[in-house]
Structure 1
Amino acid sequence: MEPFTILSIIASLLILYTCWAFITAKTAKNLPPGPPKLPIIGNIHLLDKIAPHRNLRNLARKYGPIMHLQLGQVSTIVISTPRLAHEIMKTQDLNFADRPTTTTSQIFFYKASNIAWARYGNYWRQIKKICTLELLSVKKTRSFFYIREEELTHVFKYLDSCARTPIIMRDPIQEMVNNVVSRATLGDICKDRQFILDSTYAMLKSFNSFNLFNYYPRLNFLNVVTGKKGEWMKIHKEVDVILERILEEHRSRARGSQDHEDLVDVLLRVQATGDLDMPITDDNIKAIILEMLTAGTSSSSMTIEWAITEMMRNPKVMKKAQAEVRAVVKGKRVTEADIQNLNYTKLVIKETLRLHGVPILVPRENQEDCVVGGYDIPAKTRILVNAWACATDPDSWEHPDSFIPERFENSLTGYLGADFEFIPFGGGRRICPGMNFGMGTVEYVVANLLLHYDWKLPGGVKPDDIDMREITGISTLPIHPLKIVPVPLSRSN
């Protein structure tokens, strides 16, 4: 069949199904305000692929902190202030604890049985408990300190080999974080690690790429017609074969000690005990493994890159953070105890998370009709919380768009989900369980980079010349990777 004919059929079906959806859709009497909607596509044309969080904040400043968008057939509410985020994730958290169903989460994460995308209910509560108590506890996170130390040694060797020459910082940091997460998850010996990492990267690209049919659930079959679903299923099947092999290897090997128990070992141990209200299957375990690999890599490396970028743009902040680290740390490496005493460095990281954390939280969905901010929200409405808009809310922050770590001095505001002007890990029941693991890696890497190196910009480049524009792809990163010159401390003036 000619391509033009296929496109014509798809367009005709799109029009017919969308018109039918608009006619039959359940509407509320008092929906929140929003921008004018075009026929068929609604507000899809307003979505910004480069920096959607910024575009949504601009729209919210015009139409209000609770805003309605019609994205094709998907009725969507955007939340943009701490007060309303508190309403969603605290006051009415139970009603908004569900996740919408997506084709990609169903395929890649074994019918959405991972933590982030699982529907709210008994299964999710059990998995969250396992993660909190066994998988990602503070104690378990600290047990992986040796992995961070070993992988950082490789980074130091690379930086020393490139001493006094410009490098792109993104490359070694992403590789290190990938290795830390994959070793902690799969173990030190996994011959398929690189294949799994490459596959998870492809999965993340699929999640973040624009797919028109995501906004037309009744036309989901067109993912089959266009070949999209076939591509996703191929990736999934290839990954599944490798994950099956990894589970078999972990089950068959004898472990004389549990000191270096990886996350797969933990899940298999929990599964084998049988002391669960709902037994977890191998598919459940594979879904959680993939989540560890996807969620744990991009967000941590993103935060490290932004922290270094902001300090290069603000030399006084860099100098102050370096002075603190070098005064506190007495050995050759930063220890866990040292990190607890790096007060200003922690402020730098918190301010980085405020401006450059995950900008839009994983979508929520309300189970029942309700009222938020005086507006009717019909059941099964998709909810987007713009965490970046909350973190730059002028009513909550002085000079909200400026990088000022000192704003957190003598402040009790933290990222544990209780302060809704600062929610880089979300809040309420669906707060990110990997917070301790991610922050352990970020704090350790940033502190060691400050301890062992002076950092300079290439010749002729000034701090104000650094391009702070961002692009949202796998994660939200500087649109142009930072070029930076490492100067090992022992050879610096």
Structure 2
Amino acid sequence: MIAISHFLAVLLSASILFFFLHKWRRSNSPKPRGRLPPSPPKLPVIGNLHQLSSAPHRSLQSLSRRYGPLMLLHFGKVPVLIASSAEAAREIMKNQDLIFSNRPQFSVASRLFYNNRDMAFAPYGEHWRQIRSICVLHLLSNKRVQSYRGVREEETSLMVDKIRRLGASSKPVNLSDVIQSLTIDVICRVALGKEYSLGSDFKDIFGEFGDLVGILPLWEYIPWLRWMRRFDGLDKRVERAAKKMDRFLEVVIQEHRVRERREGDGGELDFVDILLDFQRENASRTPIEHDTIKATVLDMFVAGTDTTYTTLEWAMTELIRNPETMKTLQNEVREVAGNKDEIDEQDLEKMPYLKAVIKESLRLHSSGPLLLPRELTQDTRVLGYDVASGTRVMINVWAISRDPSLWINPEEFRPERFLEMSVNIRGMHFELTPFGAGRRGCPGITFVMAVDELTLAKLVHKFNFGLPNGAKIKDLDVSESSGVIIHIKCPLFVVATSHVF
């Protein structure tokens, strides 16, 4: 039965391939003109899709070493410009930022984010400008981020207590799970006003939602395969996840409308409070729609949790793999803390090595190694090559941050390099842009770094870490997960021993 099924599958695949090949040969699409970027040979129908592995950032890095830092690939019928050098990234995200600021429309993300009413996936235009302005000025300003200092300090202290309890049982601690729970709790309180991770199915809803955001179905690149939608089950998954999340957000917003907290009431306002305030105050001028509020909250949640959690997970993994670096960081943190039982955010400004460790973690392990794709709105020239309007653009920041022409020993985890150079991560230095740059750069850098720095400082201040079951450092699995956001494939289990002062 298995052999027959396999034969039928092969026969069906061959039939479909010949059909597509026939269609492709008959197509009379015009040949592109001008000096095009170098391109690897492509196959009929699928283009260069066969040259992508489960780790596209690595596949694209390998191709760029052969074809150059600016390549033109075809994912099915979609032309995609791949930038893999700091010079190309600067040209796209700074020199020609405006015409590269559009976002391609993805069917899955569109349905999850209320027809792209959010900031991340919205096409460039007036709506996007309004939402970005709200996010930058009202949700993620330095003053607003500082107003949530108490939340960060309280939640990180609860995290320390949790690890201490788990460690007392002499069982390995799933540090990945602890860090993820921390980031979800912080974002819940900041965005929604209270924790939802306990006593509800919120984690399951959010987990499924997050998995779907990164899915790019094959039929988006090869329109002839749209018939697959009837059988792959993706549409039903998206519809189910969108409905569950919408019901959850409706309850949250209704709770906020009932209590009607406003900016002058005292106490910290969460993101939903702020957005509802803005909606009421601007009802007659620049109204913000109900779905836009939900989409914006989702944006903050998805971006805030994944980026924060991934950076911390990789940083702790690298510190455990590099004991001397861990010791140097612990010495700095413990010296600054002195006799204090708790580290607070004011102490962080006296910890340059801590900041260097996080920068180095972001350099080696960009949470979104290809950023979100952009789309060109008019014909242009990039580094001497002609690129047509409508071309998608992917910037391989992972490859750039490992470029040996920019970094000495780029595969080594060496935070000291950032004590010797003034490179920052805020989109000014294109050899290191883990959060992007320009109009489409992430506006939440200050928020993410505030959580990451305090969490890492408290972890190395309070605990010494080892691997369970006598495992050696060289045995630590650092395989990457697949997807848009790159986590560690296997959870990080550690033995956490409370440090005796």
Determine the C-alpha separation between the residues in 1 that align with 2:302 and 2:127: 21
Contact 1:22 1:73 in 2 (8 A): no
Letter of the structure 1 residue corresponding to residue 210 of structure 2: L
Q: CA deviation at 1:14?
A: 7.6
- 2:393 corresponds in structure 1 to 383
Give the residue type in structure 1 aligned to 2:154: E
Distance 1:463 1:253 in 2: 52
Residue type at the aligned position of 2:453: E
Matched, 1:207 2:213: yes
Q: In 2, are the aligned partners of 1:363 and 1:383 still within 8 Å (CA)?
A: yes
Rate the CA distance shift 1:123–1:312 in 2: closer, same or farther, 3 A: same
Aligned to 2:480: 470
8 Å CA contact retained: 2:75, 2:221:
yes
SS state at 1:170 partner: helix
Ranges in structure 2 where 5+ consecutive residues have no aligned partner: none
Give the whole-Å Cα distance in 2 for the aligned partners of 1:202 and 1:411: 41
CA distance 1:130–1:23, shift in 2 (3 Å): same
Going from structure 1 to structure 2, the CA distance change for 1:71 and 1:217 (only over 3 Å counts) comes to same
Counterpart of 1:326 in structure 2 is 334
Q: Where does residue 278 of structure 2 map in the other structure?
A: 270
> Cα distance 1:438–1:194, how it changes in 2: closer, same or farther (>3 A)?
farther
Alignment of 1:32-111 (within 5 A): 32-49=37-54, 51-111=55-115
Provide the residue aligned with 1:249 in structure 2: 255
Which position in structure 2 is the counterpart of 1:372?
Answer: 382
Instruction: Tell me the distance in 1 between the aligned counterparts of 2:259 and 2:451.
Output: 28
Deviation of 1:217 after TM superposition, in Å, equals 4.5
Residue identity matched to 1:314: N
Match of 1:456 in 2: 466
Which whole-Å deviations, capped at 9, do the CAs of 1:312-358 have from their partners, x for residues lacking one? 11111100100110111242222111011111010000000001122
CA contact (8 A) 1:182 1:193 kept: no
Instruction: State the shift of 1:104 in Å.
Output: 1.1
In the TM superposition, what is the alpha-carbon distance from 1:34 to its structure 2 partner?
2.0
* Alignment partners' CA distance in 2, 1:408 and 1:35: 36
Match of 1:30 in 2: 35
What amino acid is aligned across from residue 36 of structure 1 in structure 2?
Answer: P
**TM-score between both structures, scaled by the size of structure 1:** 0.92
Q: Is the contact between residue 79 and residue 385 of structure 1 (CA under 8 Å) also seen in structure 2?
A: yes
| Residue of structure 2 equivalent to 1:486 | 496
Task: Decide which moves more: 16-25 or 279-288.
Answer: 16-25
Does 1:349 pair with 2:355? no
SS of the aligned residue for 1:24 comes to: coil
CA contact (8 A) 1:366 1:379 kept: yes
Q: 1:155 aligns with which of 159, 175, 178?
A: 159
Identity %: 38
Q: 2:293 & 2:21 partners in 1: Cα distance?
A: 41
Counterpart CA distance in 1 for 2:437 and 2:353 is 25
| Cα displacement (A) at 1:52 | 1.6
* 1:381-440 per-position Cα deviation (integer Å, ceiling 9, x unaligned): 010000111111111111111111011114221011010000010001111011111111
* Stretch of structure 1 that moved more, 21-30 or 382-391: 21-30
Instruction: Tell me the secondary structure at the aligned position of residue 380 of structure 1.
Output: coil
Partner of residue 337 from structure 1, selected from 336, 346, 359: 346
CA distance in 2, matches of 1:227, 1:10: 23
Residue in 2 that maps onto 1:392: 402
**Segment of structure 1 superposing worse, 138-147 or 254-263:** 254-263
CA distance 1:189–1:35, change in 2 (3 Å)? closer
The one-letter amino acid of 1:328's match is V
Match of 1:134 among 122, 128, 138: 138
The equivalent position to 2:242 in structure 1, one of 230, 236, 241, is 236
Post-superposition shift, 1:22? 5.3
Stretches of structure 1 lacking an aligned partner (at least 5 in a row): none
Q: Does the 8 A contact of 2:185 with 2:197 survive in 1?
A: no
What secondary structure, in the 3-state scheme, does the structure 1 residue paired with 2:53 have? coil
CA distance in 1: counterparts of 2:113 and 2:197, whole angstroms: 22
Q: Is the 8 A contact 1:28 1:377 kept in 2?
A: no
Aligned match for 2:437, one of 403, 408, 427: 427
Task: Give the Cα–Cα distance (whole angstroms) in 2 for the partners of residues 16 and 130 of structure 1.
Answer: 49
Judging changes above 3 Å, is the alpha-carbon distance between structure 1 residues 418 and 18 closer, same or farther for their aligned structure 2 residues? farther
For the residue of structure 2 that corresponds to 1:95, the secondary structure is: helix
Answer whether contact 1:169 1:482 (CA < 8 A) is retained.
yes
Larger mean Cα displacement after TM superposition, 108-117 or 155-164: 155-164
Secondary structure of the residue that 1:470 maps to in structure 2? Answer: coil
Q: Distance in 2 between matches of 1:420 and 1:254?
A: 43
1:448-487 Cα distance to aligned partner (Å, 9 max, x none)? 0011111122353333332333222363122333221101
In the alignment, which residue of structure 1 is the partner of 2:322? 314
Do the aligned partners of 1:143 and 1:259 also contact (CA within 8 Å) in 2? no
Q: Are 1:436 and 2:442 counterparts?
A: no
TM-score scaled to structure 2, two decimals?
0.91
Distance 1:25 1:252 in 2: 59
The alignment covers a number of residue pairs equal to: 489
Cα deviations by residue, 1:210-234 (Å, 9 ceiling, x for unpaired): 5211212565564356442232122
Compared CA separation, residues 191 and 33, structure 1 to 2 (3 A): closer
Q: Root-mean-square deviation (CA), in Å?
A: 2.7
Q: Call closer, same or farther: CA 1:209–1:117 in 2, change over 3 Å.
A: closer
Identify which of 179, 184, 191 aligns with 2:185.
Answer: 179
